[in-house]
Amino acid sequence: MCYLPLITILLGSLIGGAGFNLVHVGGGLLAQQAPPAFDNAVGQSESPPLSAEANAVIPKADVSGPSSKLAKSDEMPPVVDQPKDLDAYSQELKRAVNSGEMTEQAAVKAWEEANSGSKRADGKDDVKGWVEEHLVIFLATVYSSLFALIGGAFLICYRFVKRREKTREVALETTTSELGLKFEPEGDELLMSDLSSLPLFNQGRRKKLFNLIVADTPDLQVQVFDYQFTTGHGRSQTTHRVTVVSVRSVTLAVPELQVRPRKAFLDGIKEMFGRGGIELDQYPAFSKKFVLKSDQPAQARGFLDAKMVAACERNNGCSLECQSGVLLHFRANKRVDPDAQSIRRFIGEGFTLFQDVSERLDRNA
């Protein structure tokens, strides 16, 4: 009895090589012959059909190949990568289910995730495609909105300036009437031409002389006016506005000269290049506050004696421009208030300066 298991193993090995199969039944041995086609059929069986739920979710695919009836677990993780081709992916999922590598539930879940990811990608592609297809319309909309915004801001600024200038014009007209003077809101082209050679009128562009107040006397032509011009371009563009008093007389036989307040930074740079103006060594305090320029430097130095220097210093911050027959007095980038008191005082400053110049000419005589 103790040799029975060993004999059974040996006989089974010998008979198995001759095409027989041994089966242990009830403690004995039963030899039965295997069918002729058994060897070819071992390990082959028909693929088990997918459930109705799996077939409804995963599209039909032509899947062939061996499969085994292995036990399937719901916890078995998917072992199939997700390719971009959903048709190929569905075939891979079915093969995995049929081979027992994953359960139907896992395959259905993997398919739904792949399909939803594809829809999200398609949605992004759709948005990108729409932008590419309608790029001209998109850019036109963006730029038109930008231009409309800039144009709107420009229009608001223009209307604001226009209203402000109109208010000033009305106030000056009222003041002129109170003073018993003549008012010409559009200015005088002939006066503009007569003054065009002075430094103030030789800078910038878009020059305009307007809001002219005429205060002539039998011996003098006295005019007060607003003057504006533009310098720079683009974002650095600046419109300069200034109120000027002009005194003209045949008795003003003065050299051409300009006296203006010194600009510390700009004039300092100009001095480095020899364009800082004419130095008056005998009047150092004057030279620190003012710049003297002239095409006739010797005559300009001789004209500015101690009393004329004092007259310029008395009007601190004011500019004086002279040439034969005309004198200008103004404060750079400053406009006089349009009330009667301010206009009267400003005309008085110009007339006082004219008297100082006349006295200087008398000293020469």
Inside any domain, residue 109: yes
Exposure class string for 84-93: b at 16+ Cβ within 10 A, else e: eeeeebbbbb
Inside any domain, residue 246: yes
Mean pLDDT of the chain: 78
Inside any domain, residue 139: no
User: Within this chain, do residues 56 and 204 fall inside the same structural domain, yes or no?
Assistant: no
User: Within this chain, do residues 17 and 74 fall inside the same structural domain, yes or no?
Assistant: no
Polymer length in residues for the chain: 365
pLDDT of residue 118: 58
Residue 329 and residue 318 in contact, taking contact as beta carbons nearer than 8 Å: yes
Inside any domain, residue 165: no
User: Within this chain, do residues 350 and 213 fall inside the same structural domain, yes or no?
Assistant: yes
Q: 132, 160, 192 — which closes off a domain?
A: 132
Q: DSSP assignment, residue 316?
A: T
Inside any domain, residue 177: no
Percentage, residues of the chain above pLDDT 90: 44
User: Within this chain, do residues 100 and 247 fall inside the same structural domain, yes or no?
Assistant: no
Q: How big is the CA angle at 97 (ends 92 and 103), to the nearest 5 degrees?
A: 125
- For residue 229, give both structure tokens: 């011009």
Percentage, residues of the chain above pLDDT 70: 68
User: Within this chain, do residues 68 and 37 fall inside the same structural domain, yes or no?
Assistant: no
| Average pLDDT of the segment spanning 41-58 | 50
User: Within this chain, do residues 33 and 116 fall inside the same structural domain, yes or no?
Assistant: no
pLDDT above 90: residue 309: yes
User: Within this chain, do residues 189 and 338 fall inside the same structural domain, yes or no?
Assistant: yes
Distances from the Cα of 73 to the Cα of 78, 97, 104, 220, 243, angstroms: 11, 11, 10, 115, 96
Inside any domain, residue 204: yes
User: Within this chain, do residues 212 and 352 fall inside the same structural domain, yes or no?
Assistant: yes
How far apart are the C-alpha atoms of 38 and 19, rounded to whole Å? Answer: 10
Per-residue pLDDT of 9-40, as tens digits, reads 444 444 444 444 434 434 443 334 444 443 44
User: Within this chain, do residues 259 and 280 fall inside the same structural domain, yes or no?
Assistant: yes
Exposure class string for 182-211: b at 16+ Cβ within 10 A, else e: ebbeebeeebbebbeebebbeeeeeebbbb
Q: 132, 150, 165 — which closes off a domain?
A: 132
The residues, ordered by sequence, that sit 6+ positions from 361 with a Cβ below 8 Å of its Cβ are: 251, 252, 253, 254
User: Within this chain, do residues 350 and 218 fall inside the same structural domain, yes or no?
Assistant: yes
Per-residue pLDDT of 107-147, as tens digits, reads 788 877 777 665 555 555 566 666 667 777 878 888 888 88
pLDDT of residue 22: 38
Give the count of domains, the chain: 3
Which residue range forms the structural domain that includes residue 193?
182-364
Per-residue pLDDT of 60-101, as tens digits, reads 544 444 444 334 444 444 444 444 567 787 888 888 888 888
User: Within this chain, do residues 11 and 78 fall inside the same structural domain, yes or no?
Assistant: no
Per-residue pLDDT of 311-323, as tens digits, reads 999 888 899 999 9
User: Within this chain, do residues 325 and 286 fall inside the same structural domain, yes or no?
Assistant: yes
